[in-house]
Amino acid sequence: MSKGREAAAGGGAAAVLLRYLREQNRPYSAQDAFGNLQREHGLGKAAVVKALEQLAQQGSVREKVYGKQKIYFAEQEQLPAASDAELRGLDGEIAERSAQLQALQQSCRHMEAARPVIGATFPELKDLNSSMTTPEITREIEALRKDCASYTEKLERIKSATNHVTPEEKEKVCREQQLYRREWRRRKRMATELLDAILEGYPKSKKQFFEEVGIETDEDHGVVMPANT
């Protein structure tokens, strides 16, 4: 493309952008303007950026920099002044929107105030709000199924084992345990009585006597006699 055609294209882009910014009368970045006008006018991004910078230098649009981004909007003083009828229309629209906003805010306040009353009147609603959702229930069921399958497999392994204890063997072990426990208790009582008799004439403490003789008790090793079954 020749320099003359590039200049003509640039001038056309500037005119399109200036008309667009004045009609919309709102700020746009170069990217936004390019996206909005590309399909209708076939403008390239480089042409849009160049045209906006040119319009800013000419004073036709204003340029504001926010960080790394530039924003462009029409120069307000060059826009036609609104008529009294247009201003009254805008005032009416503002009043209407303000009334709608107040109504919505009032409705929100009523809903917030009614929430405790609704919860007290309809306790099932509170239960529903605190209950699990369908996806949560589905995940919980799947986890329970896996646990059930694991326990079932463990139970089958136990059932199929060949080293089960018979009732007779269990009874024999219990009788032997009772015998050993009685003997343990008897011997401990005898040892305690004998040591108490010795300690009556021993000048030192019981702990010192045990250390000198080398006696170790059940308590020293954390041993507790099994309870009766």
CATH of residue 51's domain is 1.10.10.10
pLDDT score for 5: 38
pLDDT score for 3: 37
Q: Is residue 82 part of a domain?
A: no
pLDDT tens track for 154-179: 888 777 766 777 788 888 888 888 88
Q: Is residue 6 part of a domain?
A: no
The whole-angstrom separation of Cα 72 and Cα 62 is 6
pLDDT score for 8: 37
Torsional class of 128: left (φ above 0), alpha (ψ -120 to 50), beta (otherwise): alpha
pLDDT score for 104: 86
For strands 69-74 and 28-29, give the pairing: antiparallel
pLDDT score for 203: 86
Q: Are 73 and 61 in contact (CB under 8 A)?
A: yes
Take residue 81 and report the two structure tokens written for it.
Answer: 């002044």
Per-position DSSP letters for 139-194, written without gaps between them = HHHHHHHHHHHHHHHHHHHHHH-S-PPPHHHHHHHHHHHHHHHHHHHHHHHHHHHH
Last residue of one domain, picked from the residues 74, 89, 123? 74
Q: Is residue 19 part of a domain?
A: yes
The whole-angstrom separation of Cα 62 and Cα 38 is 22
Take residue 50 and report the two structure tokens written for it.
Answer: 């160049």
Counting the structural domains of the chain, the total is 2
Low pLDDT (below 50) residues in the chain: 1-9
Q: Is residue 151 part of a domain?
A: no
| Domain containing residue 173 | 168-219
Q: Are 28 and 71 in contact (CB under 8 A)?
A: yes
Q: Is residue 145 part of a domain?
A: no
Q: Is residue 91 part of a domain?
A: no
pLDDT score for 72: 92
pLDDT score for 9: 47
Q: Is residue 18 part of a domain?
A: yes
The whole-model pTM stands at 0.36
